[in-house]
Amino acid sequence: MPYDLLIRNGNVVLSNEVKRLDIGINSGKITALGQVLDGEAKQVVNAEGMTVFPGMIDVHVHFDEPGRENWEGFETGSAMLAAGGCTTFFDMPLNGIPSTVTKEAFVDKVAVGEAKSHIDFGLWGGLVPENLNDLADLADAGAIGFKAFLSPSGNPYFHSVDDESLLEGMKRIAKTGSVLALHSESAPLVTFLQKEKEAKGLTGYDDYAESRPVQAETEAVSRALTFAEVTGCPLHFVHISTIEAVTLIQAAKKRGQDVTLETCPHYLLYSHEDFRKIGVVGKCAPPLRSETERRGLVDLLIQGQIDMVSSDHSPCEWKDKQTDSIFTAWGGISGGQFSLLSAIEIALAQDLPLTKVADWTAKQPAERFQLTAQKGEIRKGADADLAVVALDKPEQVTTDKLYQKNKFSLYEGHVFPSSIQMTINRGTVVYSNTDGINGAASGKWIRPGK
């Protein structure tokens, strides 16, 4: 049969093995998998010596559009993700103007994404104390889930939830069948400790880390799990950074709670000591942890105790980082381009099967957010979302290789052992290492379960 696209001779990462196969693609779907596929094709890619992963699903990015395109927008952000082997992303509701806390704002953002994104995308809705009556409409509109902060968000227009609004929000979200994602740091703890530091004029890197200790994360996680047990609300904990928090979440799973968690590449590859060396580009919330915590998180990922790896790409302009105090500098890591490469680096260093990488970056995100009918693994009938990787071709991160809008990143100077050669979204080559981004590639908005 004729194919729109035929990928030959790749080492294909399937759900339970890596196998040398050809992949035949028609109308954006994988229509054939075989060791030698017969037939002609409009386009042929020779993946000899390359490894073909399912395209990454990054469930946690901040693209800040509409309203803050100077930080990041759908065009530059989706190009950045595509250059990193990502084919689907979920944009957070926080930093757009307005924030995505009403159906009207949600519909407007969908239109922006459909006009500008190079790859497929979903949108989170927000939970803030003021929008409890908007939650059902946001779910009906197609929100992939809801996001709330248990500590100040950094955006004065996106308020963190108090205990009462969190409980009520959980009850309402549970009725919609959706998922609540939580930034889990204790507001009383981090607010008190920061004020204490600032009153003494203590504004160094150690002071920032000490103002957001391990206990701030574990207290918030424990409280959220208790509330969710009472309300029956499914939870997804974002950017978990501590061993104890993972342990608490896994214990809740064993009790039967519907809960998942993600961590981020920066918590797996970098520690507080790195933060002290590289400076303000390493500021995030929660902060980079001790080397003991970093190693422990890697071990928990290997053991299957962490469901997925997501970037939490949280960009800004340089002026928002370079402030007088570490406490007022923007707390976010710009690095969405390197999540899949980070996961591959860990797998290679630990001699893990590459199917683990596919689980962390594609299969488990698809399962959690009801996308398995079309995404999450390489199989017949699924969307042709693929990342072609040269496992043995190292790549050093330099400014000129960054596709994000503001060209600075924690990862500058890092040498990944592998490199992305091509990214394919629904059968269209979106990125190649020779031609860059295909400006004509256009992503689709996706809803949970659709």
Single out the residue in 368, 392, 410 at which a domain terminates: 368
**Given this model, what pLDDT does residue 450 score?**
52
164 lies in the same domain as 307: yes
pLDDT digits (tens, 9 = 90+) for 313-331: 999 999 999 998 999 999 9
> How is residue 37 written in tokens?
């596929």
Question: What would the pLDDT profile of 342-365 be if each residue is shown by its tens digit?
Answer: 999 999 999 999 999 999 999 999
Instruction: For residues 152 and 100, state if they share a domain.
Output: yes
**Is the distance from CB of 408 to CB of 431 less than 8 angstroms?**
no
Cβ proximity of 235 and 225 under 8 Å: yes
Give yes or no: residues 394 and 258 share one domain.
no
Mark whether 129 and 158 lie in a shared domain: yes
Domain presence at residue 446: no
Same domain as 176, residue 300: yes
**403 domain residue, yes or no:** yes
Residue 268 · residue 325 · CB < 8 Å: no
Task: Indicate which CATH number applies to the domain containing 433.
Answer: 2.30.40.10
Final residue in a domain of this structure, among 338, 368, 398: 368
What are residue 209's phi and psi, to 5 degrees?
A: -65, -40
Residue 205 lies in a domain: yes
**pLDDT of res. 1:** 67
- What is residue 83's predicted lDDT score, i.e. its pLDDT? 98
Shared-domain flag, residues 29 and 151:
no
φ/ψ of 26, rounded to 5, equals -140, 135
Which of helix, strand or coil describes residue 128? coil
- Residue 6's φ and ψ, nearest 5 degrees, are -130, 120
Q: Which among 405, 238, 241, 242 is positioned nearest to 334, based on CA atoms?
A: 405
pTM for the whole structure = 0.97
- In this structure, the answer to whether residues 24 and 159 fall within a common structural domain is no
Contacts of residue 152, defined as CB under 8 A and 6 or more positions apart, other chains included, come to 160, 187, 190, 191
Domain limit, last residue, from 311, 344, 368: 368
Q: What is the CATH number of the domain that holds 188?
A: 3.20.20.140
Inside any domain, residue 385: yes
Same domain flag for 41 and 107: no
Helix (H), strand (E) at residue 21: strand 18-26
Flag whether 112 is in a domain.
yes
Which residue spans within 188-309 are E strands per DSSP? 235-237, 259-263, 308-309
Residue 282: which of 412, 410, 408, 415 has the closest Cα?
Answer: 410
Report if residue 423 sits inside a domain.
yes
The pLDDT tens digits for 200-246 are 999 999 999 999 999 999 999 999 999 999 999 999 999 999 999 99
Contact between 316 and 406 (Cβ < 8 Å): yes
Residue whose C-alpha is closest to residue 438's, from 87, 183, 111, 34: 87
Contact 307, 297 (CB under 8 A): no
In this structure, is residue 29 part of a structural domain?
Answer: yes
CB within 8 Å of 328: residues ≥ 6 apart = none
- Together in a domain, 10 and 131: no
Q: Both ends of the chain: CA-CA distance in Å?
A: 28
44 and 72 part of one domain: no
- Claim to verify: residue 286 and residue 139 sit in the same structural domain: yes
Alpha helices by DSSP H, listed for 73-152, are 74-83, 103-116, 135-141
- Our count of domains for the chain comes to 2
Question: For residue 205, what are the domain limits?
Answer: 55-368
Q: State the number of CA atoms in the 13 A half-sphere of 279 facing the CB.
A: 8
Asked whether the beta carbons of 174 and 136 are under 8 A apart, the reply is no
Task: Tell me the Ramachandran region of residue 201: left when phi exceeds 0, alpha when psi lies from -120 to 50, beta otherwise.
Answer: left
Do 353 and 329 lie in one domain? The reply is yes
Flag whether 172 is in a domain.
Answer: yes
Q: What percent of the chain has pLDDT over 90?
A: 97
Low-confidence ranges of the chain (pLDDT < 70): 1, 450
